[in-house]
Amino acid sequence: MKILLCCGAGASTSLVAEAMMKSLPSEEQKDYVIEAKSYDMFHEVHGNYDVILLGPQIRYKKAEAQKIAGELNIPVDSINPMDYAMQHGDKILTHARELLLNK
């Protein structure tokens, strides 16, 4: 599964990506790509992912991102602010999986 995390600059979201990878059993880590990028890069890279999650600070871009990624049937949602702040990688990963299953 390839997951794109987008935020304003990509810095804080890279910590969330690390937390998500750490929440995976080591044998599953090879099956996942979780990358954090600035939303400025969204238009260039969105087609390379299965799921896109937006940081809470840019959740106002959700409708725009859904319209663009929706053309490729890629689900988009924002990350729960508490899970983001507390770096609950397991909860965020569960949310990403559910989005993919329900697309």
How is residue 34 written in tokens? 């979780």
- Number of CB atoms found within 10 A of residue 44's CB: 9
3, 7, 52, 69: which is the annotated catalytic residue?
7
How is residue 7 written in tokens? 């935020």
- Active-site residue flag, 6: no
User: What is the Cα Rg of the chain in Å?
Assistant: 12
Contact 30, 78 (CB under 8 A): no
Known catalytic residues are 7
